[in-house]
Amino acid sequence: MGSSLDTFFQQVFNGLVLGSLYALIALGYTMVYGIVNLINFAHGDVLMVGALTAFSAITLTQALAPGIPGWALMLMGMLAAIPVCVLLSLLIERVAYRPLRNAPRLAPLITAIGVSILLQTLAMLIWGRNYLTFPQLLSSEPIAIGPATATVTKLLVIVLSAIIMVALLLLVQYTRLGRAMRATAENARVAALMGVNPNGVIAATFAIGAALAAIAGVMYASLYSVAHFYMGFIPGLKAFTAAVLGGIGNIPGAMLGGVLLGLIEALGAGYIDQISNGVFGSNYQDVFAFIVLCAVLILRPSGLLGERVADRS
């Protein structure tokens, strides 16, 4: 019995790691949806660009200056990835989404799908179609956290995500930009009358989301030691599920939804594997997220903490 409790804790820990990543990515979806009522289909691919940019930066630096320690490389990777993703995201918003802000609902979604494909194509052209091995930057020595085993990378994911999320909450709650974001999310027209520049606020929202995605991308690639052009699709979809689970547009909701989804996935995959004697194993892990998605949208579309979507009257 002790070992099954150990397994439980291990799964919970794994779930927290996964969930932290989902939360970071979900924030990008939820903030954008809250402010412009758009599912930014390309968000997962921004993550992918971040991971691949970091990959290039890191491998290049490793080749030029081999002595640099892993943590510095990782930091450098993130610092390289963030501006690339932010600029990319701003470009996409300006060119592909802004002109369609008043178009019928489906138009921006279709465009977003197109953008997603373009990003994947871009990645294929630059980095090729093969799976690239993301270098192991931090020590992979197991660290015991109670009955669970962790690595530095996994701990970093949880800690860094937590710090970022707190910072974001503070930003949204106490800064001028945060107030402007909340106001525009509630009613853009009225916010504009109060002197808020909606285009600027929307751009800032996309930028923040992109930065989070860049960081999440680097960590995701570090965790799984792989990066390739299609890596953004599944985490993107799952993170969107997390955003909906928590309540779309709702920032604490995205955080809660992300962590919850990570836990559901880790525990679910582990136990279904046991219960079905290996029939439905970890290769069905992705299905869990989809099932959660369908269940939430059908049974409780407003999510756990409630939607916060722009007033479109």
**Footprint on this chain of other proteins (rule: CB under 8 A):** 38-39, 96, 99-100, 103, 105-111, 113-118, 120-121, 124-125, 129, 233, 237, 240-241, 244, 279, 283-284, 286-287, 290-291, 293-294, 297-298, 301
Kindly tell me which of 124 and 162 has the beta carbon lying closer to other proteins: 124
Contact of 3 with 9, CB cutoff 8 Å: no
Kindly tell me which of 114 and 142 has the beta carbon lying closer to other proteins: 114
At 141 the three-state DSSP class reads coil
Kindly tell me which of 185 and 196 has the beta carbon lying closer to other proteins: 185
208 vs 164, 204, 241, CA distance in Å? 11, 6, 20
Kindly tell me which of 196 and 293 has the beta carbon lying closer to other proteins: 293
Q: Give burial (CB, 10 Å; 0-12/13-18/19+) of 30.
A: buried
Contact of 307 with 248, CB cutoff 8 Å: yes
Tokens 């680097």 -> residue: 218
Contact of 19 with 263, CB cutoff 8 Å: yes
Min CB(249)–other proteins separation in Å: 13
Q: Spell out the residues 6+ positions from residue 123 whose beta carbon is closer than 8 angstroms to its own.
A: 45, 48, 49, 52, 229
Kindly tell me which of 155 and 291 has the beta carbon lying closer to other proteins: 291
Kindly tell me which of 178 and 270 has the beta carbon lying closer to other proteins: 270
Min CB(292)–other proteins separation in Å: 10
CA distance 242 to 26: 6
CA distance 186 to 194: 13
Q: Please give the full DSSP string across 230-265, using - where no structure is assigned.
A: TTTHHHHHHHHHHHHHH-TT-HHHHHHHHHHHHHHH
Min CB(256)–other proteins separation in Å: 19
Min CB(231)–other proteins separation in Å: 14
Min CB(281)–other proteins separation in Å: 8
At 200 the three-state DSSP class reads helix
| Amino acid, single-letter form, for residue 124 | M
Kindly tell me which of 144 and 279 has the beta carbon lying closer to other proteins: 279
Kindly tell me which of 8 and 280 has the beta carbon lying closer to other proteins: 280
Min CB(142)–other proteins separation in Å: 30
Min CB(287)–other proteins separation in Å: 6
Min CB(180)–other proteins separation in Å: 25
Q: Spell out the residues 6+ positions from residue 18 whose beta carbon is closer than 8 angstroms to its own.
A: 261, 262, 265, 266
CA distance 135 to 70: 9
